[in-house]
Structure formats: structure tokens, C-alpha cells
Amino acid sequence: MKKIMLVDDEKDQIYVIKTAFEKLFGKEYMIIPAESGEKCFELLEMNELPHLILLDIMMPRMNGWEVFDRLRANPSWKDIPIVFLTARTDEFAEHAGVLIAEDYIKKPIEIKELKTRIDNVLKRVKKK
């Protein structure tokens, strides 16, 4: 079973994705919720290592760019694939996100499309 950490300050977003994945893809994927960048690092430090991180950009206290930089700076976490999942749709964010992360997905997204994009990233990473 693949573990996906979902880092998003919107509790509704976490609930919808986690519930849908459990219902539709429960044998394949487990969603690990983290309501903030701080919570993400807390879980990682407890050795809760996911196969992929879905990362929101616009979060209070520590935004997604800062979380990304800290993840990449840590030798234990730098190889975890990161997919930005965000409501931020400006060109700068999209171009930067595509360049540095494995994928950049705009909210809202249909659950089956999200799974397909996650599957594709995990396949690409596996081939490396």
C-alpha cells in the first residue's frame, strides 16, 4: 500500500481527498493528513515516511515553498516525490512548481484525475 501525505491547511480539502481515496482506492493508497508544514515535519520526524507528498502552497505560518525547501534540504526526505496541489494559479507559481516538483496540480481536481497524476509520478520516480 502506498502512503500519500497530504499537507493542506484546509480541513475540508483533506477530508474530501482522504474519504474519496479510502472509498475508491483503499487497497492501493493510504492518505496521511497533515494540516500544516509543522505537522508534516512532526510526522516525518516520527518516521512516517510517505511514498509521495501532496503539498499546498498557500498555508499560514509556513507556506508550501518553505516546506519544499526544508524537505529537499534534509537527506532523509530529499528524495520523496512532491506534487504541488494548490488553488494558486498564477503563471509564476505554476512555472516554478513544474520546474522544481514532480507535478503541479490546480485545485479543484477530480479524484480519479488526482489518482492518475499520482500514479504517473510514482511510475516515473520508480524508473529513475
What would the pLDDT profile of 64-104 be if each residue is shown by its tens digit? 999 999 999 999 999 999 999 999 888 888 888 888 999 99
Q: Please name each of the domains of the chain with its CATH number.
A: 2-127 (3.40.50.2300)
pLDDT of 128 > 80? The answer is: no
Model pTM score: 0.95
Return the minimum-mean-pLDDT range out of 41-55, 83-97, 101-115.
83-97
pLDDT band at 31 (very low <50, low <70, confident <90, very high): very high
Residue 126 has what pLDDT?
87
Among 20, 26, 33, 34, which Cα is nearest to 2's? 26
pLDDT of 38 > 90? The answer is: yes
21 touches 1 (CB < 8 A): no
CA angle 73, 13, 126 (to 5 degrees): 45
